[in-house]
Amino acid sequence: MDESEENAVPYEETVIRDTDIVFDCPHCGRNLVIDYRGAGLPITCTNCRQSVLVPIPDGMQIDDLDVNPGELLKQLFATRRNLQKAEKRAEELDMKLANIQEYLKGLVELLRD
Ligand SMILES: [Zn+2]
């Protein structure tokens, strides 16, 4: 992914369109504005240079936008959302697995004594 394609700009330095996503950088709190097509994509904060995931607005109505094909975009956003969920779930499972491995290690130690 070429990050230069999807650059957020500081809130006060741009004209905000209805279709823009306005959000705060979770690292430095800076107001950022990005085109709706950046929803769900990682971008670099213009202020702190940290990687930020653009939020996907709840109930984002692609149909309201003057775009074609809207259905394709809808599916794209849904796919990104599911990917984020799956990544989070994988993280949780990794942690559980690590816990179980720790537990087993402890059991083995006990049996050895
Ligand atoms: Zn920032």
Q: What is the per-residue pLDDT for 91?
A: 93
The whole-angstrom distance between residue 33's C-alpha and the CA centroid of its chain comes to 15
Using one digit for the tens of pLDDT, what is the confidence trace for 41-90? 899 999 999 999 998 887 665 555 555 667 777 878 888 888 888 889 99
Q: List, for residues 90-109, the tens digit of each pLDDT value.
A: 999 999 999 999 999 999 99
42 CA distance to ligand 1 middle (Å): 12
Mean pLDDT of 9-17: 68
Q: How many A from CA of 26 to the centre of ligand 1?
A: 7
The CA-atom distances, in angstroms, between 57 and each of 45, 78, 80, 83, 100 are 18, 12, 12, 16, 37
C-alpha 9 – ligand 1 centre gap (Å): 11
The residue segments making up the domain with residue 26 are: 1-58
**Separation of 68 CA from ligand 1 center, angstroms?**
32
Number of structural domains found in the chain: 2
Q: Please tell me whether residues 48 and 72 are part of one structural domain.
A: no
pLDDT number for residue 2: 45
Q: Are residues 32 and 9 in the same domain?
A: yes
The pTM (predicted TM-score) of the whole model is 0.47
